[in-house]
Amino acid sequence: MSACPSLTVDEIFVDRGSVGTRLDLFLARYLNEPAKTPSGLSRAGIQRLIADGQITLNGAPAKASIRVKFQDRIEIRSSPARDSELQSEALPLDILYEDENCIVLNKPPGMVVHPAAGRRSGTLVNALLHHCPALEGIGGVRRPGIVHRLDKDTSGVMIVAKNMLAFQQLVSQFKNRTVRKEYLALVWGIMRPESGVIDRPIGRHRSDRKRMSSLHSIAKTREALTEWRVEERFPVTPAGYAAPDGLTLLRIRPRTGRTHQIRVHFADLGYPLVGDPVYGRKAKTQIKRPPADSAFERFQRQALHAERLCLELGETTPPIEFIAPLAPDFAALLNYLRAHRDSVKTGVDNSRSLK
């Protein structure tokens, strides 16, 4: 029988300035101070270690919520670190902004954010590890630096943390809903009035576990709130399509961040996203095969783009807004629709911005 790997024990004593702080919060701050080498442990990871008895307070098990006192002794028991299975890859990145704390990217459509079963390469994380090797272990082994995600075929702006302090600050902003996100989406149908709010909880679909739903979900649902405003309307259906009354370009501000929230909310409202292979099924039955040279024929994904992200990059700095240009396929699709609309002189451009 092979010997078990030996445990290492780190001993920490509470300083006067930290008296009264929760145990998990104290450790999250202590282990990831800028002057130290980041531990790679998030606050959630620390809470799991406390629950597993790997972290003790004055020699005894403790709760994550207990308030520490001056000179309390904290012991952290851990196994030797394992090498990550993630591989770096020299893939192109469209970097909008970068400093010592974060990277802001314009994610292209078709790129998965992080490796998972059946997908070990070609992801955004693989590319990030090549660009920034020190990212490994920040906030988790499988998703280093990732504080939020976009679906594979959704393009647009994403922010990635480069150290644990930045990771915790960014995660906190997303959790507290202080981050402002704006998307552009092209949906089937003419939406009226000019703006609205969808307030429908979302959960797993009761008969298809791979889908989410706000109409046919299982009993366990979570709050989901989506604000929208019309940007443009295209009252004439593109040649080769049999849609009832055209399409609408929307500016969308999700107030919550549920899985597939935008796609689910608008599909369940009767306005599915153009090109959505999962939630646009009903619309597909109404569509004839378009001409081979149509922009719709070349558009092979859901028409959803994360255009704007506004958040704080430090505790003392004002919020900064980052804007990601449209991906070429989405821009070409809108240009096609505008040309088609203008050629038959239907109405005026109803462009607006969300204030």
Place of tokens 């609309």: 341
Looking at the DSSP assignment, which residues form a beta bridge with residue 217?
A: 205
Of 23, 47, 77, which residue sits at a domain end?
77
Residue from 15, 72, 94, 151 carrying the catalytic annotation: 151
240 and 337, same domain (yes or no): yes
Quick check: is 355 in a domain? Answer: yes
Place of tokens 């590319």: 127
What six digits make up the tokens of 33? 């101070």
Looking at the DSSP assignment, which residues form a beta bridge with residue 256?
A: none
Distance (Å, whole) CA 232 – CA 244: 17
DSSP state of 36: S
246 and 334, same domain (yes or no): yes
Q: Helices H, strands E: what count in the chain?
A: 8, 15
Do 227 and 250 touch, CB atoms closer than 8 A? no
Outline where DSSP puts E strands in the chain: 8-13, 55-57, 60-61, 73-78, 95-98, 102-107, 155-161, 180-188, 195-199, 203-204, 212-213, 225-234, 247-254, 304-311, 320-323
248 and 312, same domain (yes or no): yes
In tens digits, the chain (355 residues) has pLDDT values of 333 344 455 789 999 889 999 999 998 888 766 544 445 567 877 888 888 788 999 989 899 999 999 999 998 876 444 445 778 899 999 999 999 999 999 999 999 998 876 677 899 999 999 999 888 778 766 788 899 999 999 999 999 999 888 888 898 899 889 999 999 999 999 999 999 999 999 998 888 878 899 988 887 888 999 999 999 999 866 655 555 578 999 999 999 999 899 999 999 999 999 999 999 854 443 444 445 456 777 788 999 999 999 999 977 678 999 999 999 999 999 998 898 787 755 444 444 444 4
CA–CA distances in Å: residue 255 to residues 106, 120, 182, 262: 21, 32, 10, 11
Of 51, 77, 103, which residue sits at a domain end?
77
Cα angle for residues 151, 185, 309 (degrees, 5° grid): 65
297 and 194, same domain (yes or no): yes
Number of independent structural domains in the chain: 3
What six digits make up the tokens of 287? 């569509």
- 151 catalytic? Reply is yes
235 and 354, same domain (yes or no): yes
152 and 224, same domain (yes or no): no
Q: In CATH, what number is assigned to the domain containing residue 71? A: 3.10.290.10
Quick check: is 266 in a domain? Answer: yes
250 and 119, same domain (yes or no): no
Place of tokens 């959630």: 44
For residues 282-303, one letter each, b for 16 or more C-beta atoms within 10 angstroms of the residue's C-beta and e for the rest, the string is ebeeebeebeeebbbeebebbb
* Predicted local distance difference test score (pLDDT) of residue 31: 79
* Predicted local distance difference test score (pLDDT) of residue 344: 59
Quick check: is 2 in a domain? Answer: no
* Predicted local distance difference test score (pLDDT) of residue 1: 34
67 and 110, same domain (yes or no): no
Would you say the C-alpha torsion 286, 290, 296, 297 has a positive or negative sign? positive
* Of 174, 202, 196, 181, the residue nearest 258 (C-alpha): 202
- Quickly count: other Cβ atoms within 10 Å of residue 76's Cβ: 20
Establish whether the linkage from the previous residue to 193 is cis, with ω within 30° of 0.
yes
53 and 36, same domain (yes or no): yes
Total residues belonging to the chain: 355
- Which residues span the domain enclosing 133? 84-176
341 and 262, same domain (yes or no): yes
Outline where DSSP puts E strands in 50-154: 55-57, 60-61, 73-78, 95-98, 102-107
135 and 251, same domain (yes or no): no
